[in-house]
């Protein structure tokens, strides 16, 4: 099936991906650049998923809260340029926008988060309205959406209730983060009730005690119709219809892996909303995740639909990426 391009006008009438959770401003530091270098980036897992979906040509809507501050304004401006529907983003003058530091070092990166008491943690069930799901094909939530605060978890759960009442698919990225002290039972219940579950091998081992695809399938039960299990540079598998489909990742020169899993998730969900079969959607998604590693930062590093198509057609993945803030 033909994949949508990144022109927002071309996606009119297609199902909307609705994401509920947090956005974060990124401050990037690198060991291989001068000591006065500071990079500006844009993150938050569900926000990243929405940006990647929009780059694939999918209409994407984000519900979150931002502070009335410079980080909030930078995020909102970036999301608008990325063609997200930002109508449901509330500005809270009494709380700051969350931030994180992405310190890229030889052999990996380290995150430092500053989100305690952030505006996004004040999301609540009162923020939910059925109109949020107008035109929606899927509601996307993550384990971080459930973990940043009790009220945010209630917001995500209420959104899922409304989605099911409206016949909208629920998708869930497990994104288990120990530092947030997640309620594993709550997250597992959400995953088992979701239609599509995306998790890394690390997530699977932490939450399910195994990363073997057959055992992951058994542990999540019969609720999820599709399970995407990612494994970094090894690629990913999708379990659906009693079958397991594997996709290897293309080799790239890795600069920063931050946000690669979100890129994969966003491209996969965009493909599925466009009617692409799970194995083909996963192929696009794995390419998207790999290409995102060529530049530092999260959403700013995401490739376009055209870049992904070129690599799928056999082009080298290490051609000059279309890096920048525009989608």
Q: Which residues are annotated as catalytic?
A: 262
Burial of 300 (0-12, 13-18, 19+ CB in 10 A): buried
Buried b (16+ CB within 10 A) or exposed e, 20-42: bbbbbbbbbbbeeeeeeeebebb
Q: Residue 154: which residues within 8 A CB-CB, separation 6 or more?
A: 124, 125
What distance in Å separates the CA atoms of residue 44 and residue 145, rounded to the nearest whole number?
10
For the chain, how many helices (H) and strands (E)? 10, 15
Task: Output DSSP code: residue 251.
Answer: P
What distance in Å separates the CA atoms of residue 309 and residue 78, rounded to the nearest whole number?
24
In three-state secondary structure terms, 222 is coil
Going by C-alpha positions, the residue among 59, 6, 49, 84 that lies closest to residue 265 is 49
DSSP letters for 141-179: EEHHHHHS-HHHHHHHHHHHHHHHHTT-EEEEE----GG
In three-state secondary structure terms, 238 is strand
What distance in Å separates the CA atoms of residue 110 and residue 120, rounded to the nearest whole number?
22
Q: What's the angle, vertex CA 224, arms to CA 261 and CA 312, rounded to 5? A: 40
């Amino acid at each position: 099936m033909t994949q949508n391009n990144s022109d927002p006008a071309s996606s009119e009438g297609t199902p909307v991906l609705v994401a509920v959770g947090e956005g974060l401003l990124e401050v990037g530091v690198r060991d291989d650049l001068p000591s006065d270098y500071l990079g500006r980036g844009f993150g938050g897992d569900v926000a990243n998923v929405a940006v990647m979906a929009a780059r694939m040509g999918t209409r994407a809507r984000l519900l979150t809260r931002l502070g009335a501050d410079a980080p909030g304004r930078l995020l909102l401006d970036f999301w608008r340029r990325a063609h997200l529907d930002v109508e449901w983003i509330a500005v809270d003058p009494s709380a700051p926008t969350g931030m994180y530091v992405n310190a890229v070092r030889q052999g990996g990166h380290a995150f430092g988060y500053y989100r305690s008491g952030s505006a996004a943690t004040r999301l609540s069930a009162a923020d939910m309205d059925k109109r949020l799901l107008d035109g929606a094909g899927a509601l996307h939530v993550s384990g971080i959406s459930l973990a940043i605060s009790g009220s945010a978890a209630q917001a995500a759960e209420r959104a899922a209730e409304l989605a099911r009442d409206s016949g909208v698919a629920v998708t869930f990225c497990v994104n288990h983060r120990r530092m947030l002290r997640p309620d594993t039972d709550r997250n597992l219940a959400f995953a088992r009730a979701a239609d599509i579950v995306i998790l890394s091998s690390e997530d699977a081992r932490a939450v399910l005690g195994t990363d073997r695809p057959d055992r992951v399938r058994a542990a999540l039960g019969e609720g999820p119709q599709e399970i995407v299990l990612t494994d970094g540079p090894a690629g990913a598998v999708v379990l659906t219809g009693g079958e397991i489909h594997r996709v290897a990742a293309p080799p790239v020169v890795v600069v920063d892996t931050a946000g690669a899993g979100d890129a994969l998730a966003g491209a996969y969900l965009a493909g599925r909303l466009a009617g692409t079969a799970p194995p083909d959607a996963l192929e696009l998604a794995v390419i998207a995740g790999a290409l995102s590693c060529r530049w530092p930062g999260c959403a700013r590093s995401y490739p376009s639909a055209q870049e992904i198509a070129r690599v799928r057609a056999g082009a080298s993945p290490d051609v000059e990426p279309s890096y920048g803030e525009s989608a």
